[in-house]
Amino acid sequence: MSDGIRGKQLSVDFAFLDSGIGGLPYLRCLKERRPAARCVYVADTRNFPYGAKAPGDILRCASAVTERIIRRWQPEAVVIACNTISVTALEELRRRFPETQFVGTVPAIKPAAELSKTKRIGLLATEAAAASPYIVALKEKVAPECTLVCRGDNALVSFIERRYLESTPEERGRAVLPAVRFFKDAGCDAFVLGCTHFLNMTEDFRRAAGPDMAVVDSRDGVVRRALSVGGAAAPGAGGSEASTEPALYVTGFSDGSDGSLYDEFCRKMHFSFCGIFS
Q: Which residues are catalytic?
A: 82, 195
Q: What is the rounded distance in angstroms from the CA atom of residue 269 to the CA atom of residue 24?
A: 9
Which residues neighbour 20 within 8 Å (Cβ) at sequence distance 6 or greater?
Answer: 43, 44, 45, 48, 49, 161, 197
Contacts of 32-35 spanning 24+ positions with Cβ under 8 A: 33/223, 33/227, 34/227, 34/231, 34/234, 34/236, 34/237, 34/239, 35/236, 35/239, 35/241, 35/242, 35/243, 35/244
Q: Where are the beta strands (DSSP E) in 29-119?
A: 39-43, 77-80, 101-104
Which residues, in sequence order, are bridge partners of residue 190?
A: 121, 214
Which residues, in sequence order, are bridge partners of residue 152?
A: 125
Cis ω for the linkage preceding 25 (within 30 of 0): no
- The dihedral built from the CA positions of residue 28, 29, 32 and 35, taken in this order, carries a sign that is negative
